[in-house]
Every structure is written in structure tokens, then in C-alpha cells.
Amino acid sequence: MSDVPAGLETLDFSYTGGRPAGAFAPVLVGVVGSGNLEVMLEATPNDDCSVRVETSARGFAPIWQAVVDDFQARHGLAGVRVSINDMGATPAVVSLRLDQAVAALPKEVS
């Protein structure tokens, strides 16, 4: 048996600085389902980028940290809340969905 408790794990990450995203309608990409995830981007009045991950794959915080760090290094957004609902997606799929969400932002933001 695993030492990892059952249920969802919640991980929160925050990044300061970056390009202010400004106002935009919420963006939702992906579908929560077996082996997939959804990503939602929302505008905030803050100067940071916050990321909340709700995942069924418990015990992978260092991998999530690496994927989210890479996302912020590539896109450098500020004034954005990122919500990720995960059902066991691979890091490559997570990166793909994050990039799809950014691509759906108004052109002056992305």
C-alpha cells in the first residue's frame, strides 16, 4: 500500500513581477477527465501570478513546481490567477494546456 493519503492534493504557487495581463474574460481550456486536466486563467488586480493546483495525483509537488516554474519563466505573467484541476495528466499535457490558455488571451496580453 502507498503512504500517500487518498483524495485531492492542493498546491499553491505564487510569482511576483512579470508582464501585467490587464483585463480579460476568463479563459478555460481542457477537460477534467481520466488522465487530463482543465486550466482556467482569470484576471486579478494583483501584481503577481498565482497558481492553484487541485490534483488527484498526490505526492508530485516537486514535479508540479518544475512545470509551473517553467510556465512562468516562458510567459512571465502578472495579474493572473491560474487554476488547474488535474486528474493525472502528464507534465507534457500540463504544459500544453497552460500554453493553450495563454494563446487564448487577447493578443496584447499573450
- Check which CATH number belongs to the domain holding 38 and give it: 3.30.230
Average pLDDT, the chain: 90
Mean pLDDT calculated for residue range 81-106? 95
Q: What is the pLDDT of residues 18-47, one digit of tens each?
A: 889 999 999 999 988 777 899 999 999 999
Q: Domains in the chain: how many in total?
A: 1
Question: What is the SS3 assignment for 46-99?
Answer: CCEEEEEEEECCCCCHHHHHHHHHHHHHHHCEECEEEEEEECCCCHHHHHHHHH
pLDDT confidence of residue 109: 54
State the residue range of the domain holding 36: 9-103
Q: Is residue 34 part of a domain?
A: yes
Kindly report the pTM of this predicted structure.
0.89
Q: Is residue 4 part of a domain?
A: no
pLDDT confidence of residue 7: 82
Q: Is residue 23 part of a domain?
A: yes
